[in-house]
Amino acid sequence: MLTQSALDPARAVYDQIVPAGEPWMREILKGQYFRILDLEGNQAADTLFYNAHDYDDRYSAQDTIREQANIYLTTGTKLMSSKGNVLLTIVADTCGRHDTLGGACATESNMVRYAIDKRHMHACRQSFVKAVLDWNHVRVGRRFSGAALDKRDITHNINFFMNVPVTPDGKLTFEDGVSAPGKYVEMRAEMDVLAVISNCPQLNNPCNAYNPTPVRVLIWDPTS
Ligand SMILES: [Zn+2]
């Protein structure tokens, strides 16, 4: 469902470009608004969310799909956690739908899906691992945080802006993106959350038009 946001980027409390292929990680406080903007179009922003106070309580694709009875994510979708909490709600979406079935690319899946010599290529799973291991240094001494994160904590993800349609007979296909330059998705945090993005470096499938590009992330306070 296409919906615009009334929030003004000039009033954002945080505004950052995530370069193509790079990870990004930050806490988003309850009530804050979080926007991911596809700067050049057809970029996949692979994203994980955790309860900022309990990292065992994390985004669950299964619970999200079952609760909303729909496989695509868009305006109105409540992003559910593994312990049944609403982490965030999508409040604006100018792209139309986002995937949570396709998973994140990995060196192992690159090898299986494309060719043995693709194994060395940078993949989202490595960006996620790098981000959470770096976070283990950042989180020390913070006001709140969960236990240390490692590779086992990287589970279900959302592929914002990624087009993974399911055919009438249930086939899953990876197609050219439906996003375009300037399209965005915006969420309201329903609790304090920790967000991790892998701005997908994939060069072997059309999820990002074979051309990884930057995305922009913005955060607003509730009063903005
Ligand atoms: Zn990827």
pLDDT-based confidence at 137, cuts 50/70/90?
confident
Report the separation in Å between the CA atom of 187 and the middle of ligand 1, taken as the mean of its atom positions: 21
**Is the Cβ–Cβ distance between 193 and 27 less than 8 Å?**
yes
Report the separation in Å between the CA atom of 155 and the middle of ligand 1, taken as the mean of its atom positions: 14
**Is the Cβ–Cβ distance between 201 and 24 less than 8 Å?**
no
Beta partners for residue 16, in sequence order: 217
Report the separation in Å between the CA atom of 195 and the middle of ligand 1, taken as the mean of its atom positions: 16
Report the separation in Å between the CA atom of 100 and the middle of ligand 1, taken as the mean of its atom positions: 13
Rounded to two decimals, the pTM is 0.93
Tokens standing for 215? Answer: 């995305």
Q: Are strands 86-93 and 78-80 parallel, antiparallel or unpaired?
A: antiparallel
Report the separation in Å between the CA atom of 202 and the middle of ligand 1, taken as the mean of its atom positions: 5
Q: What is the pLDDT of residues 150-172, one digit of tens each?
A: 999 999 999 999 989 999 999 98
- Give residue 139's Cα distance to chain centre: 20
Residue identified by tokens 């929030």 is 7
Average pLDDT over residues 201-220: 85
Q: Which residues surround ligand 1, an ion (CB under 5 A)?
A: 105, 124, 200, 202
**Is the Cβ–Cβ distance between 162 and 150 less than 8 Å?**
no
